[in-house]
Structure 1
Amino acid sequence: MPKRKRTKIVATLGPATSTKQILKKMLDAGVNVFRINFSHANYDDVKEKIKIIRELSDTHNYTPSILADLQGPKLRVGVMKGDIIVNKGDTINFVTGKPFEGTSEKVFMNYENFPRDVKKGERILLDDGKLIFEVVSSNSKDTVTAKVIQGGPLKSKKGVNLPNTNISLPALTEKDINDAIFACQQEVDWIALSFVRHAQDLMELQDLIKEHSEHKIPIVAKIEKPEGVENIDKIVAYCDGLMVARGDLGVEIPAQEVPLIQKKLVLKAKTARIPVIIATQMMETMIDSLTPTRAEVNDVANSVMDGADAVMLSGETSVGKYPVQVIETMSKVIKSVEKSELITVPQKPPHIRTNRFITKSICYHAATMANEIEAKAICTLTNSGYTAFQISAWRPDAHILVFTSNKRILSQLSLLWGVKAFFYDKFVSTDETVEDINKMAEERGFVQSGDMLINLAAMPITSKGMVNTLRVSQI
């Protein structure tokens, strides 16, 4: 039986991945989720890419997820006039208001409240922390004067981070609101919100989705600010997935603290039974080179061993020279470490008696029992996808095969570790249905004669209620 990877790959769309041929090759190489980065997206272009991805899904039996990633309150400087270099000890003014071309004396800042929010002595980091400034004074109207602490080339439209400042920007900017409405209209599978600081940020996006989408679109909270890490327990209660966005996180928080924060966030997500994506600089060298560094290979392997549901590529697939090869390389790394004994899963059975306690309990026991009896697959029938989230979180050795008549969740579940979803709409009787899906599992090469399977279903099968039955069968 071919070795199948369980950890999913998220690939960012961009100029390097604009043809149907490349997208098909990426799917063949192991992509499970396509990410649309709304920091650099053009609506017509996005529509076209989504159309191609859905056509490929229909003709080649793939079910990739589409993840719309909102920019969030990203602070940026304006356009520069030519090549500008600032040196240590120089003074520079950051000016809000009407955009203008920047010089080494003054640059435009896209954040209206900047002069009111920053205080003397606070740090301004630019271009992922390559440039460091310290606030000297602020006239609280439109200008902040700062001293250069670490100089270098000052480039156009680079991101700004304020690690010590409490910024007053809303989590959903006007651009994000428009982008989210557009994403709802395109019926994307997931929406990611950048710079999540509080649970309230997620509630605002939930309300917006409810208003503009007939279906629930799950939300991924991107953790990239210290407040997001501090408020993680509340955030986890209001999101459907987490992303450890190490780019901005490593600028806002000392870089050496990020590895442990990554481990902490993965553990929080697994305990909450929601998927977690590790993102940024995973195979950065492969933007221009066919070979990743040993450290990058190690990073991907460690993320898999931490128990991430998915690992994400950004520039490697959006603007890189080798979008297909980078996925092939990543797939090889994932497959080689996934079976390791060193990977541990918190094995505490569910104890909080919510209205879904029975379903949670059945999923937990299905995963542990599958390991005990060495079942090759856990087959679950679902209408909402809930059981897929639950079983996936326990990381069983068995294949997790999900059968659903709800086409909306087919691609949504592609983000979850180990989950493979299939369309199935013949709900006659429990016995017939179980036989039917076991046959499908065998035909698709997940199980063979003599293998044990675990089937989860809601009885009576026609009512499509909550899972209440666990059954062991043999091929």
Structure 2
Amino acid sequence: MKQLKPAARLPVKKPARAMRPSPRPDIVALHGEVARLRQAVREEGEAAVAGWAECLHRPEFGPSARNLAHYLALRHRDLRALQSPLMALGLSSLGRLESRVLPGLEAVEATLGRLAGQEGGDWPSEAAFFAGQELLARRTEEVLGPVSPDRQVGLLVTCPSEAADGPGFMLELARCGVEAVRINCAHDDATIWARMVEHVRAAESETGRRLRILMDLAGPKIRTGKVRHLRDGKRILEGARLAIVPPGGLRRLDEDEADFAAECTLAEVFGMARAGERVFLDDGKIGAVIDRADDGCLLTRVTRADAKGVKLKREKGINFPDTDLRCAALTAKDLEDLDFIVRHADGVGYSFVQSAADMKDLQDALAARRPEDWQRLSVILKIETQRAVRALPEIVVRAAGRQPTAIMIARGDLAVEIGFARVAEMQEEILWIGEAAHVPVIWATQVLENLVKKGMPSRGEMTDAAMASRAECVMLNKGPHVFEAVRELDTLLRRMAEHQHKKTPRLRRLASW
């Protein structure tokens, strides 16, 4: 067989030097847009911080106030058109910048700069990027003390009057791992509160576990006084005429004008409310519109009530969501109760705070009663009205600029004030403001309410409690099954801590599949 010659080798060409591709025009444009956004946010934020200077007495709150100012500057813009192209490049969509506004923008800008073929613009260090997260954890400990690392969310429990009867209630809370107890000054008196405090200290001594005591001021809560039925029937139906009168005003009422009448405990309302404004009573069970308003009577027409009617009783809440109520946040009773609070509590819950001026009034009152170290007392800002929501950044800066601060989402009154449809949206925004200011947020009102009161949770409230894991603390109200609810909530929050931190999912290995 003829032997074949090996095939001649073709000359091998050296590969041409790789040419760096030109950056996509959209990346160059995107880089410029983010750079301009960062610069504008920085400048507007610094201007806002300068306006807050007289409030910032605690140097350690300075970086947090600055981050809050940058966050407000960022969120005054509609960024939705910017988010999608960033996501398509595998970059942050800017949706999780609450605790680190400038570091987050700087990281995105630096990455876009490299993709656009430009030099400069270093990435922030990991320490700088997560500094806000560390500050929030530190501020949470200031208010609640050390929180279980496995749970990451503190537990706060409201004390019933029976907690004064013996040490058992506080002892069981301490054994369940609760971080703090809440005493509501709208109920009971200083004698009963003192016994509760004594039992807390005894429980601490026996278990070696510190419990923070937070005491709520009652505030100018508007309630019904005496109620009169002027016609047959005791239930208020839709279409009924309801007269709201000042304390003692029932005897002066023209009974031909109304079907029902109720006193309102806040007399100042009658100089502020106007015809056409809405009124809600008994946690929104009754909705009405004012047809006529004068100093002696608000004549209303009921527009919402249960089909079977609602039996209105004394001591039920009244809300005027459309009325610009300008009344002192601190009542005479609150000032009296502060004498007890500054001696025995770790923090004060400020009910119905609505402005930075209200916050100044409380701080002045605390300084007058405990001049040497009132700044060690924490303050819990209970956000319960539309006006408080609008003024929240200024209230937070005034408070946290001088003392440890937390925000409570008081969903009961807030839902009535802004409407049930908006309360979920608003609690998200309050969470964002708290995180931007590195201030802990307490998720409150009706958490596991069926479980606390009846011993059996609903599916919806378990989901609500799971969502509460994005706050720094969850509050349970009083009820016969509260210890069972504490244990259930503790388990739920420990499980959620493996999956979620604030708005960021944690990608733990899924074991279900």
1:93 and 1:146 in contact (8 A); partners too: yes
Q: Unpaired runs of 5+ in structure 2?
A: 1-147, 400-404, 507-513
1:134-153 equivalence runs, <5 A: 134-140=289-295, 142-151=296-305, 152-153=310-311
Say yes or no: does 1:10 pair with 2:169: no
Say yes or no: does 1:73 pair with 2:220: yes
Say yes or no: does 1:36 pair with 2:183: yes
Greater share of residues in helix? 2
Deviation at 1:291, TM superposition (A): 2.1
Query: 1:118 and 1:10, CA in 2 relative to 1: closer, same or farther beyond 3 A?
Result: same
1:193 and 1:220 in contact (8 A); partners too: yes
Give the residue type in structure 1 aligned to 2:394: K
- Three-state SS of the structure 2 residue aligned to 1:191 is strand
Q: Distance in 1 between matches of 2:327 and 2:351?
A: 13
Give the residue type in structure 2 aligned to 1:321: P
Q: Distance in 1 between matches of 2:333 and 2:504?
A: 39
Q: What is aligned with 1:124?
A: 279
Deviation at 1:342, TM superposition (A): 6.0
Query: 1:99 and 1:339, CA in 2 relative to 1: closer, same or farther beyond 3 A?
Result: farther
Q: Distance in 2 between matches of 1:173 and 1:342?
A: 39
Say yes or no: does 1:227 pair with 2:387: yes
1:84 and 1:155 in contact (8 A); partners too: no
Give the residue type in structure 1 aligned to 2:237: N
1:164-313 equivalence runs, <5 A: 164-186=322-344, 188-213=345-370, 214-215=372-373, 216=375, 217-239=377-399, 240-304=405-469, 306=470, 308-313=471-476
Q: Distance in 2 between matches of 1:78 and 1:62?
A: 42
Say yes or no: does 1:109 pair with 2:274: no
Spell out, residue by residue over 1:116-158, the C-alpha distance to the aligned partner (whole angstroms, 9 max, x if none).
1110011110011110111111222x21111111232212110
Query: 1:333 and 1:104, CA in 2 relative to 1: closer, same or farther beyond 3 A?
Result: farther
Query: 1:200 and 1:297, CA in 2 relative to 1: closer, same or farther beyond 3 A?
Result: same
2:287 and 2:304 in contact (8 A); partners too: yes
2:453 and 2:482 in contact (8 A); partners too: no
1:90 and 1:147 in contact (8 A); partners too: yes
Spell out, residue by residue over 1:410-466, the C-alpha distance to the aligned partner (whole angstroms, 9 max, x if none).
xxxxxxxxxxxxxxxxxxxxxxxxxxxxxxxxxxxxxxxxxxxxxxxxxxxxxxxxx
Say yes or no: does 1:322 pair with 2:322: no
1:16 and 1:323 in contact (8 A); partners too: no
- Three-state SS of the structure 2 residue aligned to 1:80 is strand
Q: What is aligned with 1:412?
A: none
Give the residue type in structure 1 aligned to 2:294: N
Spell out, residue by residue over 1:366-418, the C-alpha distance to the aligned partner (whole angstroms, 9 max, x if none).
xxxxxxxxxxxxxxxxxxxxxxxxxxxxx9xxxxxxxxxxxxxxxxxxxxxxx
Q: Distance in 2 between matches of 1:97 and 1:300?
A: 40
Q: What is aligned with 1:383?
A: none
Q: What is aligned with 1:408?
A: none
Q: What is aligned with 1:349?
A: none
Query: 1:279 and 1:128, CA in 2 relative to 1: closer, same or farther beyond 3 A?
Result: same
Deviation at 1:17, TM superposition (A): 3.5
Say yes or no: does 1:50 pair with 2:224: no
Spell out, residue by residue over 1:284-337, the C-alpha distance to the aligned partner (whole angstroms, 9 max, x if none).
102332221111111111110x2x1100012xx2xx111211111111111110
Q: Distance in 2 between matches of 1:165 and 1:53?
A: 41
Query: 1:157 and 1:100, CA in 2 relative to 1: closer, same or farther beyond 3 A?
Result: farther
1:85 and 1:104 in contact (8 A); partners too: no
Q: Distance in 1 between matches of 2:183 and 2:250?
A: 29
Q: Distance in 1 between matches of 2:188 and 2:504?
A: 37
Q: What is aligned with 2:237?
A: 87
Deviation at 1:31, TM superposition (A): 1.4
2:174 and 2:204 in contact (8 A); partners too: no
Q: What is aligned with 2:144?
A: none
Q: Unpaired runs of 5+ in structure 1?
A: 347-394, 396-475
Q: Distance in 2 between matches of 1:92 and 1:7?
A: 44
Say yes or no: does 1:22 pair with 2:172: no
Give the residue type in structure 2 aligned to 1:61: G
TM-score, normalised with respect to structure 2: 0.63
2:225 and 2:247 in contact (8 A); partners too: no
Q: Alignment length, in residue pairs?
A: 339
Q: Distance in 1 between matches of 2:315 and 2:264?
A: 9
Deviation at 1:3, TM superposition (A): 7.6
Give the residue type in structure 2 aligned to 1:179: D
Q: Distance in 1 between matches of 2:437 and 2:504?
A: 13
Taking only the aligned residue pairs, the percentage that are identical comes to 26
Give the residue type in structure 2 aligned to 1:54: R
Deviation at 1:108, TM superposition (A): 1.1
> Highest Rg: 1 or 2?
2
Q: Distance in 2 between matches of 1:39 and 1:204?
A: 20
Query: 1:341 and 1:15, CA in 2 relative to 1: closer, same or farther beyond 3 A?
Result: closer
